[in-house]
């Protein structure tokens, strides 16, 4: 992908890029909404990436162009049409409702942290589906952060880049997300799921080669588009924080698994908070169990834990939707080993763990169930654990 994107960059900006970088989207195997509760998550990188051709500038200008932006009608060869031009010293949080807020937010976060970024020309192209719960925004942030880290010789470690990207998303874009997606895009490695402790950001690369064991992981994109800044995500986050405060702990991560019943009983008539707390605590335990099973080579046994995770997100956290439930229920009825929604919820994608020989039957069954329910046809594809962000050229 680096040759065409370099050519498009050269056509736009009249010079060759200094380099080309890529950062992937992700699916989360298990550990949903635990990341802003100091808990555990286990995402892996998708083969779908956002690619950026980038050159440094020293005159304070940030010029941004995307091959995918719907507002951009240029063919990439017609000069700088569709290029958005900003001044790095005029970047201000909460002022940009467009896709450009993500790359601009990263430049803003780097400069806020004292890194002397004096401008850049960027051309971006992505194969990560937008709004599908597969972290297209994190891929966009991380590819920009990695490119600027290299071009400005900032020498920041990956976890730090992820933190700066999260700050861009939280403060500049205004979406109160956790640290999972950016860390996944920056730190995943091919053939592995990433066990991340979001409290200290320590990671464990867990071998996850399903094909070798006769299994596949399918992603079912329901095509129901979701957005994190629309309030429901923030409400769940606030509810979790209230739960931690009521229980007198720093974060829900600190509720011991064997103390859950006592903690729930102590929440009095706070039923909504009780459900949120129950999801977070049981979900953290599921992540640890899945990690232990994978490390013990007992991969098939993770299926029921994935399915339990879905029930918890549907019934306790209340962030599923009819299309996600249809995907999960129909896949399980057709013989899947386990299935759950993945990502922030309210749409986006589900994942399905299946024996290789059952993939076709399950894919057809899910499509038929969507048709019977009158839902838009889903898009189903296999997810292979892929590489994290990297320089391509």
| Catalytic residue flag (residue 258) | no
Cα torsion 196, 175, 305, 23 to 10°: value is -50
283 binds ligand GLA (CB under 6 A): no
Task: Give the phi and the psi of residue 192 in degrees, each rounded to 5.
Answer: -135, 150
Least distance in Å: CB of 361 to ligand GLA?
29
**Closer residue to ligand GLA, CB minimum distance, 35 or 121:** 35
Q: Are 33 and 236 in contact (CB under 8 A)?
A: yes
Question: Which run of H or of E encompasses 192?
Answer: strand 192-197
Alpha-carbon span 351 to 302, nearest angstrom: 13
Q: Are 139 and 49 in contact (CB under 8 A)?
A: yes
**Closer residue to ligand GLA, CB minimum distance, 39 or 93:** 39
Q: Which of 190, 153, 151, 155 is nearest to 44 (CA)?
A: 190
121, 181, 221, 316: the active-site residue? 181
Contacts of 284 (CB under 8 A, 6+ apart): 31, 34, 37, 39, 40, 252, 253, 257
Least distance in Å: CB of 349 to ligand GLA?
11
219 binds ligand GLA (CB under 6 A): no
Q: Are 32 and 67 in contact (CB under 8 A)?
A: no
Of residues 238 through 257, those in contact with ligand GLA by CB under 6 A are: none
Least distance in Å: CB of 15 to ligand GLA?
35
Total residues in contact with ligand GLA, by rule CB under 6 A = 11
Of the candidate residues 181, 221, 323, 358, the single one contacting ligand GLA (CB under 6 A): 181
178 binds ligand GLA (CB under 6 A): yes
Contacts of 168 (CB under 8 A, 6+ apart): 102, 105, 106, 108, 109, 141
Q: Are 51 and 124 in contact (CB under 8 A)?
A: yes
Least distance in Å: CB of 370 to ligand GLA?
23
32 binds ligand GLA (CB under 6 A): yes
Q: Which of 184, 180, 171, 51 is nearest to 109 (CA)?
A: 171
Of residues 36 through 55, those in contact with ligand GLA by CB under 6 A are: 36
309 binds ligand GLA (CB under 6 A): no
343 binds ligand GLA (CB under 6 A): yes
Of the candidate residues 33, 48, 65, 286, the single one contacting ligand GLA (CB under 6 A): 33
Least distance in Å: CB of 320 to ligand GLA?
13
Q: Which of 123, 119, 121, 126 is nearest to 77 (CA)?
A: 123
**Hey, how many other C-beta atoms are within 10 angstroms of the C-beta on 328?**
27
**Closer residue to ligand GLA, CB minimum distance, 65 or 314:** 314
Of the candidate residues 344, 347, 378, 385, the single one contacting ligand GLA (CB under 6 A): 344
Of residues 66 through 95, those in contact with ligand GLA by CB under 6 A are: none
Of the candidate residues 5, 35, 148, 302, the single one contacting ligand GLA (CB under 6 A): 35
Sole window of 77-85, 142-150, 178-186, 320-328 interacting with ligand GLA (rule: CB under 6 A): 178-186
- Catalytic annotation, residues: 181
Site residues (CB under 6 A) for ligand GLA? 28, 32-33, 35-36, 177-178, 180-181, 343-344
């Amino acid at each position: 992908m680096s040759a065409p994107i370099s050519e498009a960059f050269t056509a736009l900006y009249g010079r060759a890029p200094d380099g080309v970088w890529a950062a992937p989207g992700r699916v989360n195997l298990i550990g949903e909404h635990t990341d802003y509760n100091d808990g555990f998550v286990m995402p892996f990188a998708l083969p779908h990436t956002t690619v950026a051709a980038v050159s440094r500038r020293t005159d304070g200008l940030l010029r941004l162009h995307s091959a995918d932006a719907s507002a951009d009608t240029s063919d990439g060869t017609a000069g700088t049409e569709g290029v958005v031009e900003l001044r790095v010293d005029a970047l201000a949080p909460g002022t940009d409702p467009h896709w450009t807020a993500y790359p601009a937010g990263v430049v803003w976060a780097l400069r806020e942290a004292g890194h002397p970024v004096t401008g850049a020309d960027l051309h971006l192209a992505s194969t990560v589906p937008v709004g599908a719960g597969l972290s297209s925004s994190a891929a966009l942030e991380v590819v920009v952060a990695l490119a600027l880290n290299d071009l400005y010789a900032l020498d920041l470690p990956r976890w730090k880049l992820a933190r700066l990207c999260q700050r861009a998303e939280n403060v500049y874009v205004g979406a109160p997300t956790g640290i999972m997606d950016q860390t996944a895009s920056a730190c995943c490695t091919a053939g592995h799921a990433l066990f991340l402790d979001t409290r200290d950001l320590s990671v464990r690369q867990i071998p996850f080669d399903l094909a070798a064991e006769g299994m596949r992981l399918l992603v079912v994109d329901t095509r129901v588009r979701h957005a994190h800044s629309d309030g429901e995500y923030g409400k769940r986050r606030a509810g979790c924080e209230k739960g931690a405060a009521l229980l007198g702990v720093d974060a829900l991560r600190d509720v011991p698994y064997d103390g859950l019943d006592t903690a729930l009983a102590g929440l009095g008539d706070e039923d909504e908070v009780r459900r949120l707390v129950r999801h977070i605590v049981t979900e953290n335990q599921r992540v640890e169990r899945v990690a232990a099973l994978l490390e013990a080579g007992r991969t098939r046994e993770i299926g029921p834990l994935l399915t339990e995770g879905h029930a918890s997100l549907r019934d306790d956290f209340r962030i599923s939707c009819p299309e996600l439930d249809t995907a999960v229920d129909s896949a399980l009825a057709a013989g899947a080993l386990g299935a759950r929604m993945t990502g922030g919820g309210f749409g986006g994608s589900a994942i399905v763990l299946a024996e290789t020989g059952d993939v076709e039957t399950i894919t057809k069954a899910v499509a038929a169930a969507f048709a019977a329910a009158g839902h838009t046809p889903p898009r189903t594809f296999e997810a292979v654990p892929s590489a994290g962000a990297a320089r391509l050229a």
